[in-house]
Amino acid sequence: MSLLAVLLLASLPTCLAQTAAWEKARAEARDAYQQGRFDEAENRRKIALSEARALGSEDVRLITSLKELAEVYQVQGKHSEAEELLVEALGLREKALALNCISN
């Protein structure tokens, strides 16, 4: 077995745990948001964002988390905070599109 394969297998449990934590935080945030508990939704979406950042800047879950937290901020009237997150999400999306164009 190659060293790369060993390293990938060794990191698999951590990645799976981060993914599970991200999904759990998103589900809890969605429930809180739908019930109008926006402070709780904000806290859960911050947790999801933290988990997504740990997965890396190329992971699509980071863009998703940024946009979802921005949505809560907009509902709460925190427009400047929402804008910061949306600008970051847009930058990541533009970077991904540029990399995709270069590789094709």
Q: What is the pLDDT of residue 103?
A: 59
pLDDT, one tens digit for every residue, the chain (104 residues): 565 444 444 444 555 667 899 999 999 999 999 999 999 999 999 999 999 999 998 899 999 999 999 999 999 999 999 999 999 999 999 887 766 666 55
- What is the rounded distance in angstroms from the CA atom of residue 20 to the CA atom of residue 70? 22
CB 66 within 8 A of CB 39: no
Q: What is the pLDDT of residue 100?
A: 60
Q: What is the pLDDT of residue 97?
A: 76
Domain 3-103 has CATH 1.10.510.10: no
As a whole number of Å, the end-to-end CA separation of the chain is 31
CA nearest neighbour of 69 among 39, 37, 47, 46: 46
- What is the rounded distance in angstroms from the CA atom of residue 8 to the CA atom of residue 25? 25
Q: What is the pLDDT of residue 9?
A: 46
Domain ranges of the chain: 3-103
Query: Left, alpha or beta for 64 (phi > 0: left; psi -120 to 50: alpha)?
Result: alpha
